[in-house]
Structure 1
Amino acid sequence: MRKITSLIGTLVFGAVSTAFAATASKPNIIVILADDLGYGDLGCYGAKYSTPALDQMAADGFRSTDMIVAANVCSPSRSAILTGRYPMRNGHPFYRSDYTTKSGGYYGLSPDEITLAELLKPAGYRSFAVGKWHLGFDTEGAHPMDAGFDTYYGLPHNYSGDELPTSKAIVRDREILQKNVKFQKLTPSYNKEVVKFIEEQPKDQPFFIYMAHQIAHSPILPGKSFLKKTRKGKYADFVAELDDSVGQVLQALRENELDENTLVVFLADNGQTGVGSAGPLAGSKYTTMEGGHRVAGIFRWTGTIPAGQVSDVTLSSMDIFPLLADLAGVDLPADRKIDGRNIRDILTGDSQESPHDYLYYYNGLNLQAVRKGKWKLHLPRSEKDLPYWAEAGRGRYFKTLDKPFLVDLENDIGEEKNEAGNNPELVDTLLKEADKIRVELGEVGQKGTDQRPGWPSVD
């Protein structure tokens, strides 16, 4: 089914644009995804310990202070990054569970979705998925290689449980290499595989690497050589191991003379749990406060993205999809709506305007906030609206809300003061936008006109 979809997708969007056809080489692309990393967990975002590789990566390129992910838990956020579409639209609004739960249990990314790997394939990219997949690895049709990746290496899930054949197992492509692997061996093996892939690629063929870390998701188990490295505790040591991994990838690019022809993107899938830091933000993973959705976002492309940029332009993780389409010279799919926007001009410093009129903060099936510019309206909700993970939120957040709560994020990043009474017309505008997007994307008990059902099925 996925192969047929890929062929159709190629016919729809695979033509290489004239502007790029004459380009000698397309950039290599590496997307590095951290897991459950707080907004304040890197040195360049205010951490009280250094993260030298990522801090230097930011200094060498573009650092976003307003990067918004499309979901506050792992699986939906990843689905949005890989498809450029809201989880309600791509059929993956729930946290991927390896157990039978309220989320629907065993389900995955629909084979009908077009991923970054499939988007780039017509432009000749060889693609490699490394690390945590968490989008239905053991569900037929939802494996990374069914999603267009040429090869895969990693532990596909969270490091917990033993319900699946691939639980706590290292897998290459579709073969289990080792069961009950020690957690501390994961990151070093990911580093080795990525460096090897970079070294072995033909110089005349572009590559795409999607490197999804287990760090900083529990268990907090840094490798032996990183214990007590920061003198700020085990979690900081864990982040130091993540930073070192990024450093190894960047070093491999330098040693293979690929710095000037490789875009490297670093971001987190969502905010921190109880251990990490949201910095000045309220809330955490599992919530629609900024602490759940605003993450570190760093872009580096030597010679193309000017160094030293720190930008407060509002971006979305879904923007990576149309950005990479532009860089590879392929057209976006014409048969579906892409929610991301091309941010190339923002990264190069040629634009300071966000491409997003509105952003929508869903928590599972429940639309909980609408944002327009600096204004964010938290919407009324009750306990019956909440996803099953809502109890796990940390810090101050609106578990239930009786009336709209309007925040000026420019002057109140902690989302503490309700400005609704001073801005009744704006509140009305945002409430109408919420009603409009519910019709399109859906809501608890309300099917949207462009809402994909969960696949294979979600209760």
Structure 2
Amino acid sequence: MYKLILITSALLMATFSVSNAQESSKPVTATSQTAKPNIILILADDLGYAELSCYGAPYKTPALDQLAAEGFRSTDMIVPANVCSPSRSALLTGRHPMRNGHPIYRSNYYKKAGGFYGLHPDEITIAELLKPAGYRTFAVGKWHLGFDIEGSHPLDAGFDSYYGQPHNYGGKFHNNSTWLLRDHEAEEKKVPFQKLTESYNREVVKFIEEQPKDQPFFIYMSHQIAHSPVLPSKAFKGRTKLGKQADFVTELDDSVGQVLEALRKNDLEKNTLVIFLADNGPTADRFDTPLAGCKYTTMEGGHRVPSIFRWKGKIPAGQVSETTLSSMDIFPLIADLAGVELPNDRKIDGKNIQDILLGETEESPHEFLYYYNAHNLQAVRKGKWKLHLPRTEKDQPYWAAAGKGRRFLTLDQPFLVDLDADIGEMHNVAAQNPEVVATLIQQAERTRTELGEVGKPGSDQRPGWPKASETEH
């Protein structure tokens, strides 16, 4: 039930070392733990690609704009899932959802989808990766990875403490959906949604202020914004004059601003890496301009998200990068910065992107990217080329109903897109590029063999936890 963590400690780091090897990290000797950076990973929920002003939104998000101006902003960050739970599992483990056993959105809306299940206890998270390096770890906000499942709670996943909500807010499917919890215990059972972000801000700022200066920390701050219900708190309601969604995002921006101010006041800016990204695309494609599609789809709008990295004095400021990255890259990046080796008993899909963040290369470490919709491999990408694969309605996950009327719900023939010329994925250029199509189809078949497909388990596909047949619904 408990994880066997095959991670060795390493010497402390003195500088932001440049190593892009996937198999292991090469820490550099230092004289104190303060040489290891603090790490704050801020995750937005269902935030569209175009919902920050630095990505083109028609309202101001000054804190996130400042974060981008002082660091690295990606225009091609791809998450491996288009819904919450699988994307989060990949972020925290550096492994594809099909590989880490969490390809399905965790829910009991549909019993046939597996009902309640969680992050497999044998998976190694960022928090567990950092434990041998002496980090204090804190998870705040929405978990959504099996809070109620034995072995899948944040405290089982390497976090020293937890404060937040177990999954989405409200609804009739979870008896604790309005609870605000500390570790395992409910502090409040009928918390108003508008109180959540304020509560998260308070806890994170307090943690930063009280953290011993000689111990590095990792904060995973996982917001409910901009997931439904779209209910900005009173202080932000009507602020933008552009509707509740825009007001909601400005509240998210204010939260980021409070975290950045806490770092400044405590003289921690130069020793803290701040990472911001979204878990997947928004529920409406109007928030994804110029991308097509949204959450629940394998269009770019479902998988390409805003993403920013800032580490003052280390990451050069003002970078805007078109290099293709994956959210799974954050796992090996953090491992190298903390001076710990990657697990050698499993495949890590992420790549160390330090040299890209430093501006030393623009070459993506990913030859191929895979767009799964639950268990169905729906697209393969290589550079600018993205091939949508044939599919039927029977191949679709249960949430495909949320995408009723959207493109590519079914597809009879391969559909090849040149993303450089056609970011809206409108034009099929398969006939003009048969060699590209052949290459991507061959890669799709290799990937299905390894990661699996609907009804066909892969050679390196972890079963869900627990098995659906063993789950109480």
TM (normalized to structure 1)?
0.97
- Residue equivalent to 1:21: 29
- Residue equivalent to 1:121: 131
Query: Could you say if the C-alpha distance between residues 365 and 18 of structure 1 is closer, same or farther in structure 2, counting changes exceeding 3 Å?
Result: closer
Q: Secondary structure at the residue paired with 2:209?
A: helix
CA distance in 1, matches of 2:317, 2:215: 27
The code of the aligned residue for 1:332 comes to: L
Cα deviation for residue 14 of structure 1 reads 3.6
> Is 2:373 the partner of 1:373?
no
CA distance in 2, matches of 1:359, 1:69: 10
- Give the alignment of 1:333-412 within 5 angstroms: 333-393=343-403, 396-412=406-422
CA contact (8 A) 1:130 1:190 kept: yes
Cα deviation for residue 246 of structure 1 reads 0.3
- Residue equivalent to 2:191: 181
CA contact (8 A) 2:40 2:220 kept: yes
CA distance in 2, matches of 1:331, 1:47: 40
Identity %: 71
Query: Could you say if the C-alpha distance between residues 394 and 270 of structure 1 is closer, same or farther in structure 2, counting changes exceeding 3 Å?
Result: farther
- Residue equivalent to 1:245: 255
Of 438, 444, 449, the residue aligned with 1:434 is 444
Cα deviation for residue 100 of structure 1 reads 4.8
CA contact (8 A) 2:297 2:403 kept: yes
Cα deviation for residue 425 of structure 1 reads 0.8
Cα deviation for residue 212 of structure 1 reads 0.3
CA distance in 2, matches of 1:430, 1:219: 39
- Residue equivalent to 1:41: 51
CA contact (8 A) 1:274 1:394 kept: no
Of 275, 287, 293, the residue aligned with 2:297 is 287
CA contact (8 A) 1:282 1:395 kept: no
Q: Secondary structure at the residue paired with 2:130?
A: helix
- Residue equivalent to 1:107: 117
The code of the aligned residue for 1:21 comes to: T
Cα deviation for residue 23 of structure 1 reads 5.1
Cα deviation for residue 102 of structure 1 reads 2.8
The code of the aligned residue for 2:355 comes to: D
Cα deviation for residue 75 of structure 1 reads 0.2
CA contact (8 A) 2:27 2:337 kept: no
CA contact (8 A) 1:283 1:394 kept: no
Cα deviation for residue 180 of structure 1 reads 1.2
Query: Could you say if the C-alpha distance between residues 276 and 152 of structure 1 is closer, same or farther in structure 2, counting changes exceeding 3 Å?
Result: farther
Of 217, 220, 224, the residue aligned with 1:207 is 217
> Is 2:259 the partner of 1:224?
no
- Residue equivalent to 1:140: 150
CA distance in 2, matches of 1:63, 1:42: 12
Q: Secondary structure at the residue paired with 2:277?
A: strand
Cα deviation for residue 167 of structure 1 reads 1.8
Cα deviation for residue 445 of structure 1 reads 1.1
Cα deviation for residue 436 of structure 1 reads 0.2
CA distance in 1, matches of 2:465, 2:63: 39
Q: Secondary structure at the residue paired with 2:431?
A: helix
CA distance in 2, matches of 1:416, 1:366: 22
Cα deviation for residue 160 of structure 1 reads 1.8
Cα deviation digits, residues 81-114 of structure 1 (max 9, x gap): 0000000000000001144533211100000000
Cα deviation digits, residues 389-430 of structure 1 (max 9, x gap): 012127853110000000111111101111100110110010
Per mean C-alpha deviation after superposition, the further-off stretch among 387-396 and 242-251 is 387-396
Cα deviation for residue 458 of structure 1 reads 3.5
Cα deviation for residue 19 of structure 1 reads 3.4
Q: Secondary structure at the residue paired with 2:255?
A: helix
CA distance in 2, matches of 1:191, 1:156: 17
Aligned residues between the structures: 454
CA contact (8 A) 2:10 2:27 kept: no
Q: Secondary structure at the residue paired with 2:107?
A: coil
- Residue equivalent to 1:452: 462
Cα deviation digits, residues 322-355 of structure 1 (max 9, x gap): 0000100000000000000000000010111000
CA distance in 2, matches of 1:410, 1:275: 19
The code of the aligned residue for 1:296 comes to: P
- Residue equivalent to 1:193: 203
CA distance in 2, matches of 1:41, 1:182: 25
The code of the aligned residue for 2:138 comes to: F
The code of the aligned residue for 1:220 comes to: V
Cα deviation digits, residues 366-404 of structure 1 (max 9, x gap): 000000011100000000100000121278531100000
> Is 2:258 the partner of 1:257?
no
TM (normalized to structure 2)?
0.94
Per mean C-alpha deviation after superposition, the further-off stretch among 179-188 and 267-276 is 267-276
- Residue equivalent to 1:168: 178
Q: How large is the RMSD of aligned CA atoms in angstroms?
A: 1.4
- Residue equivalent to 2:341: 331
Cα deviation for residue 312 of structure 1 reads 0.2
The code of the aligned residue for 1:19 comes to: P
CA contact (8 A) 2:391 2:410 kept: yes
Per mean C-alpha deviation after superposition, the further-off stretch among 432-441 and 155-164 is 155-164
Query: Could you say if the C-alpha distance between residues 357 and 67 of structure 1 is closer, same or farther in structure 2, counting changes exceeding 3 Å?
Result: same
Q: Secondary structure at the residue paired with 2:287?
A: coil
Query: Could you say if the C-alpha distance between residues 429 and 13 of structure 1 is closer, same or farther in structure 2, counting changes exceeding 3 Å?
Result: farther
Structure 1 unaligned segments of length 5 or more: list them: none
CA distance in 2, matches of 1:456, 1:100: 16
- Give the alignment of 1:300-315 within 5 angstroms: 300-315=310-325
Query: Could you say if the C-alpha distance between residues 162 and 346 of structure 1 is closer, same or farther in structure 2, counting changes exceeding 3 Å?
Result: same
CA contact (8 A) 2:285 2:301 kept: no
Q: Secondary structure at the residue paired with 2:377?
A: strand
Cα deviation for residue 222 of structure 1 reads 0.1
CA distance in 2, matches of 1:13, 1:102: 40
